[in-house]
Chains A and B, each alone.
With several copies, the nearest count.
Chain A
Amino acid sequence: MAVELRRKTRQNITAKNLTMIQAINDGMKTMLELDDTTLVLGEDVGKNGGVFRATEGLYEEFGEDRVVDTPLSESGIIGTSVGLAVNGFKPIAEIQFMGFIYPAYNQIMTHVSRIRMKTRGHFSVPMVIRAPYGAGIRAPEVHSDSTEALFTHMPGLKVVCPSSPYNAKGLLISAIEDPDPVLFLEPMRNYRATREEVPAQKYTVEIGKGRKLHEGEEVSIIAWGAMIPVAEEAREQAEQKGISCDLIDLQTLYPLDREMISESVKKTGRAVIVHEAQATGGLGETIVSTINDTSFLYLRAPIERVTGFDVPVPFFALEDYFLPTAKRVLKSIEKAFNF
């Protein structure tokens, strides 16, 4: 009854002006209402509403049975989620910061990503692992990692990363509905950076597809998550200098929207990839290789990458030096353009 009422209310409001963190909250709320098998679990997701308030209000609304504070135990969270998922539930597990996902790496690598393959789909583990990632908010060490590439090298797992309130809610709902496990990376820096109209209803944004934020002719800028505002700033500056750029927000990091990437590079002949993870082993290399495989003959310049350096994410006094800036991106755009 209460649920019915709520659902009605939802449909009356068409859109709300939300921050990304609110949109994510709204995405979980929407699915907790619509799908009884969903549950939220993790450290401090209950009464506390999550350390970033992503689960704010959910405990009060859905009770401690659907919004579960767990012990401090990442492998336990993911390991029990495997059991829950195999047995009919859809866990939305929160890892408090991406830098704390490593204790669960074994579970994700050897089970979450392999169970469907191993049983030809007899068992599957649809679940969402949410994790805030990235530097730039003056957090203590390890809190600021951006290690998506450790998970895109793991067949059986999808990796998604929104950049705005609208695509955050839509992608999260897609992730929850996906028949396969999805790692959902949330750029902390974007949590409260902007607001956007977000439909109150359930809607989805397709996993596996990028979106073109801007159409241009000379250079393809490829980025995602927290680097989108940086890339956009550089793109505008480039435009002022007369260089017109395509700007692609990948949205899904695995599987990549190879078509959008290759179409764009075939058009422009030049690519600048922006990510905050370390260069070596980073997803930028996957994109470079994709371009090599699909659009080699169209390239007019070496592919540029603007990334974090090959050092551990530094303590925050130096994090601004580690992170790509619009200046560095612009420089690479110009370098590619003038090659």
Chain B
Amino acid sequence: MEANYPIKTIIDDQGDFIDDLYKDQIDEQLVENMYYHMYRIRTFDKKAISLQRQGRIGTYPPFGGQEAAQVGSALALGENDWIFPTYRDHGATLTYGADMTSMFLYWNGRVEGCIPPEGKNIFPAAVPIATQIPHAVGASWAEKRKGTDRIAVAYFGDGATSEGDFHEGLNFASVFKTPTVFFNQNNGYAISVPIEKQMNSETIAQKAVAYGMRSVRIDGNDCFAVYFETKKAVDLARAGKGPTLIEAVTWRTGAHTTADDPTKYRPADKGKDIVEPLSRLEQFMKKNGFWKEGKISEMQAQLKEEVDAAVDAMENYPEANVEDLFDHVFAELPEELVKQKETYLELLEEY
């Protein structure tokens, strides 16, 4: 089966072209954009980890190692598409236009972090595994019904493919030919459970056979393979050719979350040979004349400032308001809730 689903790669671990097909399209603008976003979300990710260590935000699930998968896929989307991320896909949503302060707020236990910028169809990160997959199907089905060419992408991990909602979502998509892209990041683990214990299939891509659905397996650490293959899937979806399942083979370089200790379950040498995506891109840029030292260090400095500013904004954000506990459960508060709220606010006054 693995042979039926070869991993598509455009640039290899050393940053050399191994597939020239898209060579022309890999121009300065694309390369810089890719590097910009990957460096940006890496900076965000590192900062988030350190904030958590300092107790300034809650438990945080880093996406380090998955930057190519998240940036490459998000850049392949159109402005008005829909994106249904998990808790680990803030790299993708940031790239797609989510607000960075919101992302920090989210990990500080604030619902404000779930509200996307106006006009950006970014759904709140799904915490219950795989539940967002049918949502993406529904939202893209809605676009099809409206007659637009907008699509939806669902992000999910390797572990998520074991849940019933993965299955039911893909089945619906295939039956109703919805314009959906199922973007799987196979990072080898679901918390401590390695993919060999998660499934008996050699690839995730082959799971599409069950739905008569197109699928493709790509090198998830190669931002260009991710970008062009996602774009192809997006274009097919837009053109009414139905959904695609993409398996982006990648690697979580860090812990599952800041509360997790991967040395408990991950052999020390496992994944050691994997070149993480930013340094792969850096090598590629250097080998192909895209690396402009000055410009890049300026960009890096600017991104660090952006992240620091977002942290500042998060930390100076108005405190959570107890009224918010009640106010957004229904469009209009039922009487009983009004009473609960009033009684409680009075009580708080007393203290």
Contact A79 B169 (CB under 8 A): yes
Range of interface residues on A (Cβ < 8 Å)? 35 or more
Q: Give the segment of A27-35, A46-54, A167-175, A233-241 that binds chain B.
A: A46-54
Interface residues of A (CB under 8 A from B): 39, 43-44, 46-49, 51, 65, 69-76, 78-89, 99-100, 102-103, 106-107, 110-111, 115-124, 138-143, 155-156, 158, 179-180, 208, 255-256, 258-259, 279-280, 309-312, 314-319, 321-322, 327-328, 331
Q: How far is the CB of A50 from chain B (nearest CB, A)?
A: 9
Partner of B329, one of A116, A259, A318: A116
- Does B298 lie at the interface of the complex (its beta carbon under 8 Å from any beta carbon of A)? no
Contact A87 B329 (CB under 8 A): no
Q: Give the segment of B19-27, B231-239, B317-325 that binds chain A.
A: B317-325
Contact B111 A315 (CB under 8 A): yes
Contact B116 A122 (CB under 8 A): yes
15 more A-B contacts (CB under 8 A) besides A73-B163, A84-B142?
Answer: A49-B264, A79-B135, A80-B134, A83-B138, A87-B142, A103-B165, A116-B330, A117-B111, A123-B124, A141-B127, A309-B325, A318-B324, A321-B344, A328-B347, A331-B347
- Does B202 lie at the interface of the complex (its beta carbon under 8 Å from any beta carbon of A)? no
Partner of A318, one of B145, B171, B260, B325: B325
Contact A258 B128 (CB under 8 A): no
A-B pairs with beta carbons under 8 Å apart, 5 shown: A79-B134, A81-B138, A179-B330, A180-B331, A327-B347
Separation of A122 and B123 alpha carbons in the complex (Å):
10
Which residues on the B side are within 8 Å of A117 (C-beta)? 111, 328-329
Contact A314 B325 (CB under 8 A): yes
Contact A89 B322 (CB under 8 A): no
Separation of A235 and B326 alpha carbons in the complex (Å):
28
Separation of A118 and B328 alpha carbons in the complex (Å):
8
Range of interface residues on B (Cβ < 8 Å)? 35 or more
Contact A48 B336 (CB under 8 A): no
Which of B128, B131, B331, B347 has the most chain A CB within a 10 Å cutoff?
B128
Separation of A70 and B198 alpha carbons in the complex (Å):
7
Contact B114 A119 (CB under 8 A): yes
Contact A73 B164 (CB under 8 A): yes
Q: How far is the CB of A135 from chain B (nearest CB, A)?
A: 11
Contact A48 B115 (CB under 8 A): no
- Does B296 lie at the interface of the complex (its beta carbon under 8 Å from any beta carbon of A)? no
Q: Of all chain A residues, which has the CB nearest B130? A: A72
Which residues on the B side are within 8 Å of A84 (C-beta)? 138-139, 141-142, 145
Contact A140 B127 (CB under 8 A): yes
- Does B197 lie at the interface of the complex (its beta carbon under 8 Å from any beta carbon of A)? yes
Which residues on the B side are within 8 Å of A309 (C-beta)? 325-326, 337, 340-341, 344
Which residues on the B side are within 8 Å of A39 (C-beta)? 145
Q: How far is the CB of A306 from chain B (nearest CB, A)?
A: 11
Q: How far is the CB of B106 from chain A (nearest CB, A)?
A: 8
